[in-house]
Chains A and B, each alone.
Chain A
């Protein structure tokens, strides 16, 4: 293939935000406005390039496109190899959309007298670089490098710019991820030894069938633990509520919206494709973890008093859905899981951002500190309601499509799990509606009236922040085909790697849900 696909999209997309981070970091502290403007412009340029890449991607073409490979450490055959399949492409697109939104949402969040504004935005851009790199890498070593380095900017964002208990949350976040990462490191080295001294994903995937069964299971476990901590799946999830509460709300949106997807993406790309037999062997356990996660996290979400903690728990429940979608091993459920990754990024991202707007006004994240807020800030309350509905997968919003696909895809092979998971939907309705009702409906909390900021409804900047996410959630709710077309071939290829065959496929190929 000659032409536009030869353009080194992925390496430029990875490096460009890093350059931006360096530029922004060197802007003097006193020029905070300039730093914000440059960071926003930079992230919009990344978005523009990503859109070009999206258009250049041929949905019916090769599984991996935009492949680039440069020599790095010949001794270990570790290379800068980038390539994107449909799954990676939609995640890259999600990053490119969320980062400018998050930058705009963070506009006034940083207290200039306390903390350096340019450094915060530089960290966001550095984080974007590592996030893009982790999805674009097609070399296991390179993937691991981005996977670990990704922790550093997020650690400083939580630790330096977060709320109360930020130190504790930052260290917990870092240690949990690092511990998972070190298990993966051992597995990566092991994979290199058994895979014929190479890190190239393609080569490893070609020889993966020949791995010794026992060895492959251990290696699978090493990768899986790292990804399960990252995602996070029950019972490796306890870091997320703390990090979600302590992080600034926009950064938390990125954390659950994108960073955590690295876990599920990694399971699809590395666990399933490189260790197919082990994946099938571990699937029952993973499905059970997923189902427990859905119910357990949803129950905890119902009982939360802190808005950000509540959203974090909903996120864990959603990751349970993604988990069963992946390990059901049907194309339908797999497509649903990947679509869920995108939609969850949009919906939970929006929810976190709106909650952040409420928290910024009230100065507290406790549900009991609100009450009847809809009378003071009707539009903002409406956005919260919409974000909540999207998050509970109301038909007409994008998450409905993905949740439905996951459930029917799972139902065809594992009826019991699908049925239990459905209970999670009811619980989701409970926690979302209760949360919306207690904060925005009912009698007006007199304490709330005394807070001057609570009288300011959504500002123009905030409208610009939420608008693209709302539009996307609605459009993908009615017409998910552009995304499913890209995802489907990659998911089919992954399922082929696992070696499972779909039971009598129901019609989703054209992206519409079967009646």
Chain B
């Protein structure tokens, strides 16, 4: 054991992840030692400070291009950009998670394990203070996402996948209202997520069998070798891709999405729609662009078919939805399809436009779910579409903001939704994937209908008896909404700075 070589570790490059994991551990200790009444404020502060500190670390290390800890982690342009995006979106999600003014104790119950409907459970739904373990859980999850986009070998990627997923399973079960739905969502997400992880792991095993290594550079070399075992290669790639496509909510691996988005506490749904999407696509981009670009002609048609299926499924099923959160879930599935179109461009523009899309979509979807969390009646959030009728008359400000986000999702110019779609479609045509763009355009037409219907509901219908009120949000949700709407507008009107940034960042290290 004398000559065991410890790999060199570049702590500076790893610091964003270390900060988040440290803050998560600190959060657990605080949970144990602080009196209940003071936990929320302190936990929220710790989490926010950690996110900002990690963001600063990312910005300070913006010129880092290294592969460290024995090739397990690659810090390069895409990693840093995606980490920065996850952290920024994480800050905004945390603002939503930390909101305690809209509902007494926040959107979370303190004891998720209580039998639903029991006396204790009803009591805690009514008044009990909220759960503050959500903060360390969120920190672990975000830390896992940072590692997920940086992972340079498949095992590290698997560990990151588990680290980001397990806290999310828990968080899904914590909704204060509609406990059964929430628990069902958590169980469904956990079971299907476990299958996906198993697929991923089995794929890793096959690829190890194929390449004799799990790091992406060796896989790349093995793929380039003319004498190769195609069964192991394509079997492994397919299984790994299934694991990742599950997380990105691409069809046919999307079935969990509507149920989980609907059942989970709305701030957690927002976190999943924004941050998890970035992380999952970050990992997918790295695997396809770094390890398997040698077989691009083989996987492009298959993933292209999946992209088409995803866009069609998301768009067509979105039309039939009557629940706002499910509608946004299907919209999120369709957006996963558009992102796949960008990924499949398989050129530098594809990489940069996908990253741009992730940021633009993330902020818009955070604002959308932020507003969903405010439209409430006595039973909590009023998510049925018909309940939103006439909202514009009662609360023009929030209805206006939501309409704007809907127009952005529909891809109307001067919103980030337009510039980002334009970017991915442009990249795809340059990459020779015109057929994907045509499907993308057609599904955009279909998708415009449900978005428009929401606007019609809010503005052109008369308010009825059952039109819920909009809660006056606390400072945190207001801040999240303002950030989301402003970024959506800014990226639509002056996208140049972020486009330049993504262009500069669009270079993987191998």
Q: Which of A149-157, A264-272, A351-359, A483-491 lies at the interface with chain B?
A: A149-157
By a CB distance below 8 angstroms, the chain B residues around A149 are 412-414
Do the beta carbons of A182 and B441 come within 8 Å of each other?
A: yes
**Is there a chain A Cβ closer than 8 Å to B136's Cβ?**
no
Do the beta carbons of B413 and A189 come within 8 Å of each other?
A: no
**Is there a chain A Cβ closer than 8 Å to B189's Cβ?**
no
CB distance from B210 to the nearest CB of A (A): 36
Do the beta carbons of A144 and B459 come within 8 Å of each other?
A: no
Do the beta carbons of A178 and B445 come within 8 Å of each other?
A: yes
By a CB distance below 8 angstroms, the chain B residues around A185 are 411, 422, 425, 441
Residue of B with least CB distance to A159: B460
Contact with B along A152-178 (1 / 0, CB 8 A): 100010011000001100110011001
Do the beta carbons of B410 and A75 come within 8 Å of each other?
A: no
Do the beta carbons of A152 and B429 come within 8 Å of each other?
A: no
Do the beta carbons of A189 and B437 come within 8 Å of each other?
A: yes
CB distance from A266 to the nearest CB of B (A): 15
CB distance from B319 to the nearest CB of A (A): 12
**Is there a chain B Cβ closer than 8 Å to A211's Cβ?**
no
**Is there a chain B Cβ closer than 8 Å to A148's Cβ?**
yes
By a CB distance below 8 angstroms, the chain B residues around A170 are 456, 460
Do the beta carbons of A179 and B445 come within 8 Å of each other?
A: yes
CB distance from B448 to the nearest CB of A (A): 5
By a CB distance below 8 angstroms, the chain B residues around A160 are 459-460
**Is there a chain A Cβ closer than 8 Å to B83's Cβ?**
no
Do the beta carbons of B441 and A156 come within 8 Å of each other?
A: no
Known: A148-B412, A152-B412. A193 touches B426 (CB 8 A): yes
By a CB distance below 8 angstroms, the chain B residues around A190 are 429, 434
**Is there a chain B Cβ closer than 8 Å to A7's Cβ?**
no
Report the separation of the CA atoms of residues A192 and B495 in the bound assembly, to the nearest whole angstrom. Answer: 18
Do the beta carbons of A74 and B496 come within 8 Å of each other?
A: yes
Do the beta carbons of B460 and A75 come within 8 Å of each other?
A: no
By a CB distance below 8 angstroms, the chain B residues around A189 are 422, 425-426, 429, 437
By a CB distance below 8 angstroms, the chain A residues around B29 are none
Residue of A with least CB distance to B414: A149
Report the separation of the CA atoms of residues A13 and B419 in the bound assembly, to the nearest whole angstrom. Answer: 25
**Is there a chain A Cβ closer than 8 Å to B332's Cβ?**
no
By a CB distance below 8 angstroms, the chain A residues around B499 are 73, 75-76
Do the beta carbons of B460 and A175 come within 8 Å of each other?
A: no
**Is there a chain B Cβ closer than 8 Å to A44's Cβ?**
no
Residue of B with least CB distance to A179: B445
Residue of B with least CB distance to A142: B413
By a CB distance below 8 angstroms, the chain A residues around B448 are 174-175, 178-179
A185-206 contacts to B, CB under 8 A, are 185-186, 189-190, 192-193
Q: Report which of B410, B426, B437, B460 forms a contact with A167, defined as CB distance below 8 A.
A: B460
Known: A179-B445, A182-B444, A193-B426. A167 touches B452 (CB 8 A): no
By a CB distance below 8 angstroms, the chain A residues around B449 are 171, 175
Report the separation of the CA atoms of residues A229 and B423 in the bound assembly, to the nearest whole angstrom. Answer: 25
Residue with the highest number of chain B CB atoms closer than 10 Å, among A74, A144, A149: A149
Q: Report which of A144, A167, A175, A186 forms a contact with B438, defined as CB distance below 8 A.
A: A186
**Is there a chain A Cβ closer than 8 Å to B430's Cβ?**
yes
Do the beta carbons of A73 and B496 come within 8 Å of each other?
A: yes
Contact with A along B448-466 (1 / 0, CB 8 A): 1100110010011100000
**Is there a chain B Cβ closer than 8 Å to A434's Cβ?**
no
Contact with B along A87-105 (1 / 0, CB 8 A): 0000000000000000000
CB distance from B501 to the nearest CB of A (A): 10
**Is there a chain B Cβ closer than 8 Å to A183's Cβ?**
yes
By a CB distance below 8 angstroms, the chain A residues around B413 are 144-146, 148-149
By a CB distance below 8 angstroms, the chain B residues around A76 are 422, 426, 499
Residue of B with least CB distance to A174: B452
**Is there a chain A Cβ closer than 8 Å to B125's Cβ?**
no
Do the beta carbons of B495 and A167 come within 8 Å of each other?
A: no
By a CB distance below 8 angstroms, the chain A residues around B419 are 73
Known: A148-B412, A152-B407, A152-B412. A193 touches B459 (CB 8 A): no
**Is there a chain B Cβ closer than 8 Å to A26's Cβ?**
no
By a CB distance below 8 angstroms, the chain B residues around A183 are 441
By a CB distance below 8 angstroms, the chain A residues around B496 are 71-75
Report the separation of the CA atoms of residues A144 and B425 in the bound assembly, to the nearest whole angstrom. Answer: 15
**Is there a chain A Cβ closer than 8 Å to B225's Cβ?**
no
Do the beta carbons of A186 and B500 come within 8 Å of each other?
A: no
Q: Report which of A148, A167, A186 forms a contact with B461, defined as CB distance below 8 A.
A: A167
B483-509 contacts to A, CB under 8 A, are 494-496, 499-500, 503
- 18 A-B pairs within 8 Å (CB atoms) are namely A75-B500, A76-B499, A144-B413, A146-B413, A148-B412, A148-B418, A149-B412, A159-B459, A160-B460, A167-B461, A170-B456, A178-B445, A179-B448, A182-B442, A182-B444, A185-B411, A186-B441, A189-B437
Give me 12 other A-B pairs in contact (C-beta within 8 A), A159-B456, A159-B459, A189-B425 excluded.
A72-B496, A75-B496, A144-B413, A145-B414, A148-B418, A160-B459, A160-B460, A167-B456, A179-B445, A182-B444, A186-B437, A190-B434
